[in-house]
Amino acid sequence: GENVEQHPSTLSVQEGDSAVIKCTYSDSASNYFPWYKQELGKRPQLIIDIRSNVGEKKDQRIAVTLNKTAKHFSLHITETQPEDSAVYFCAASKSNYQLIWGAGTKLIIKP
Amino acid sequence: DVKVTQSSRYLVKRTGEKVFLECVQDMDHENMFWYRQDPGLGLRLIYFSYDVKMKEKGDIPEGYSVSREKKERFSLILESASTNQTSMYLCASSPSRNEQFFGPGTRLTVL
């Protein structure tokens, strides 16, 4: 079945630096790739998503890139701030319903 | 704003008890999901429903059942709770092929 691998499991960066989280997926039919952010004690919330007909999407300090040939996609956060500290999940989907989730990356922003 | 609510934030039950977790959404979404979240394992899908009275097994359905009698309500049932079902349970809803909106979660402890 579909599998999504996410790396690294923990990422520590200095405030102001950039952070990159990478995911690979196994099913070439996947065509929707969202990223969710879960702050401590809170529910996961969508921060950005990309569909397979585009290679990159940006929203202020965050961006997602997709390489369909290599079957991987990445989340980029620039000028990191303390409020970026959270667990980030990637996911992939080829159907109307089900998302296949990565295991999550804990992002720590050091002051 | 989409609102997804869950019946309890914290629940403590004994081994062998029957446990009901309820989820209600107020946006007329077709799809609803039950996940469990454990450290290092990300979000694992237990069951999902794409319509009233319709349900499909996710990745880890063993020991669980679900009920969706009304569009806005999706219940997760643990027929005979066991200690390995101690976890955070998250409900989500989505308007097909789109963002999933999560509830606040229920932290279940089975003693």
Q: How many CB atoms lie within 10 A of CB B10?
A: 9
pLDDT at A109: 97
Asked if the Cβ–Cβ distance from A49 to B99 is below 8 Å, we say: yes
Name the residue of chain B whose CA is nearest to A34's CA: B99
Taking an 8 Å cut-off on Cβ atoms, the answer to whether B104 and A43 are in contact is: yes
pLDDT computed for residue B53 by the predictor: 87
What pLDDT is recorded for position A79? 97
Q: What is the pLDDT of residues A28-62, one digit of tens each?
A: 999 999 999 999 999 999 999 999 888 999 999 99
**Shortest Cα distance from B42 to chain A (angstroms)?**
4
Q: How do residues B18-70 score in pLDDT, each as one tens digit?
A: 999 999 999 999 999 999 999 888 899 999 999 998 999 998 999 999 999 99
Query: Which residues lie below 8 Å from residue A99, measured CB to CB, with a gap of 6+?
Result: A34, A91, A92, A93, B45, B100
> pLDDT tens digits for B80-89?
999 999 999 9
Greatest alpha-carbon pair distance for chain A in Å reads 41
| Cβ–Cβ < 8 Å for A7, A103 | no
Which tokens in the block code for residue A83?
């409020």
Tell if the CB–CB gap between A98 and B45 is shorter than 8 Å: yes
* pLDDT over 80 at A1, yes or no: no
DSSP states of chain B: ---EEES-SEEEE-TT--EEEEEEESS--SEEEEEEEETTTEEEEEEEEEETTEEEE-S--TTEEEEEEETTEEEEEESS--GGG-EEEEEEEESSSS--EE---EEEEE-
Contacts of A34 in chain B (CB under 8 A): 99
